[in-house]
């Protein structure tokens, strides 16, 4: 390796020194990380350059897994909560099933629910667990159905098997953390009569963070954070409080798929979570930069 290709030792040392107080502050504290299907990137089922998309997906996931293992290695207690919307949609299209949304939520009949469970529990969850366990046998996959982690009820007849969270029982997650493990949660809930429900992953992550009294809640998505002008990336808001989030939603500055994220973040910090963060999960090691540097890369939400 040539001298010019090596990293500047002084710059590396400076970054480590900058990270040290954050590592000390957060050691022993719970951080809930919502890893979205968009951050994972589209699977090879999505129309486009399949090889390029698969490589991007693998690279994003590998980078994320490294970050999570590093958090655990410095004493933090990460809990991963994931969605899989793009992957569910891709499989539905492959099976010739129409994808329908109402108010940003997927209409979920019995067949769609089966597809969602297959993708979330059988595919995406296993991929995340495997990526983390490449580094050490730490990750344990589970769903909200397990031990009634997420109890839910039907939101509406029109949406089918889409659930609203009634209660989160974090006992199983807490037990895994006590054993030094990393829980990876697929967002399927359980209701009366053992009926499964598809749960919005953003909402589930916020509810789980609140139930665990987490120090941090981090949303890794496919945008840079909350923007005062959604058409202008330069308008990224570095810090905002929960009331400010409410104002952005009321004025229509935040819309579409960002609404569940920002509302869940605001609810979480009002429910005892110290800070919530929204950042671009496609940026390599964005999680570490946001948590361990002075500047960060996304939006931080405070009470």
pLDDT tens-digit map of 146-182:
999 999 999 999 999 999 999 999 999 999 999 999 9
User: SS3 for 215?
Assistant: coil
Specify if 74 maps to a domain.
Answer: yes
Number of domains in the chain: 1
Are 29 and 76 in contact, with CB atoms under 8 Å apart? yes
Question: Bridge-partner residues for 79, per DSSP?
Answer: 32
pLDDT tens, residue by residue, 233-244 = 889 999 999 999
- Has residue 37 got a pLDDT over 90? no
Please check whether residue 88 lies inside any domain of the structure.
yes
Is 82 inside a domain boundary? Answer: yes
Contacts for 121-124: CB closer than 8 Å, 24+ residues apart? 121/186, 121/188, 123/84, 123/87, 124/37, 124/40, 124/82, 124/83, 124/84, 124/87, 124/186
Whether 5 maps to a domain, the answer reads no
Q: What is the pLDDT of residue 41?
A: 54
Rounded average pLDDT over 9-14? 79
Q: Domain of 259? A: 25-302
Give domain status of residue 165, yes or no.
yes
Whether residue 10 is contained in a domain is answered as: no
**Residue 20 maps to a domain:** no
Q: What is the dihedral of CA 146, 147, 152, 158, to 10 degrees?
A: 30
Contact 24, 69 (CB under 8 A): no
- Per-residue pLDDT of 48-96, as tens digits, reads 444 444 445 567 889 899 999 999 999 999 999 999 988 999 999 999 9
Residue 232: what pLDDT?
86
Distance CA 184, CA 187 (A): 10
**Can you tell me the mean pLDDT for 25-42?**
83
Note whether residue 172 is domain-resident: yes
CATH (domain of 132): 3.40.1160.10
- Average pLDDT, rounded, for the chain: 88
Report the chain's terminal Cα–Cα distance, integer Å.
Answer: 48
Q: What percent of the chain has pLDDT over 90?
A: 66
Q: Write down the pLDDT at residue 278.
A: 94
Share of residues in the chain with pLDDT > 70 (%): 91
In this predicted structure, the answer to whether residue 271 has a pLDDT above a threshold of 60 is yes
């Amino acid at each position: 390796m040539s001298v010019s290709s090596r990293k500047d030792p002084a710059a590396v040392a400076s970054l480590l020194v900058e990270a040290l107080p954050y590592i000390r502050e957060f050691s022993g504290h719970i951080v809930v990380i919502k890893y979205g299907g968009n951050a994972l990137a589209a699977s090879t089922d999505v129309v486009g350059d399949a090889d390029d998309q698969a490589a991007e997906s693998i690279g994003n996931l590998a980078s994320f897994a490294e970050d999570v293992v590093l958090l655990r290695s410095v004493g933090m207690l990460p809990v991963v909560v994931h969605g899989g919307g793009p992957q569910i949609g891709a499989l539905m299209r492959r099976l010739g099933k129409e994808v329908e949304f109402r108010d940003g939520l997927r209409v979920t009949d019995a067949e769609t629910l089966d597809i969602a469970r297959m993708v979330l529990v059988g595919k995406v969850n296993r991929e995340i667990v495997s990526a983390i366990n490449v580094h050490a046998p730490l990750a344990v996959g589970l769903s909200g159905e397990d031990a009634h982690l997420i109890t839910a009820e039907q939101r509406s007849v029109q949406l089918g098997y889409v659930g609203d969270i009634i209660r989160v029982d974090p006992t199983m997650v807490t037990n895994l953390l006590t054993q030094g493990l990393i829980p990876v949660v697929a967002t399927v809930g359980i209701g009366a009569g053992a009926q499964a429900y598809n749960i919005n992953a953003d909402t589930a992550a916020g509810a789980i963070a609140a139930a665990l009294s987490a120090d941090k809640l981090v949303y890794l998505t496919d945008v840079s954070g909350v923007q005062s002008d959604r058409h202008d990336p330069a308008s990224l808001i570095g810090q905002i409080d929960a009331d400010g989030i409410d104002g952005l939603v009321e004025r229509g500055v935040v819309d579409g798929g960002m609404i569940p994220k920002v509302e869940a973040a605001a609810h979480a910090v009002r429910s005892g979570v110290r800070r919530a963060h929204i950042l671009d999960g496609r940026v390599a090691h964005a999680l570490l930069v946001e948590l361990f540097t002075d500047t960060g890369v996304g939006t931080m939400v405070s009470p």
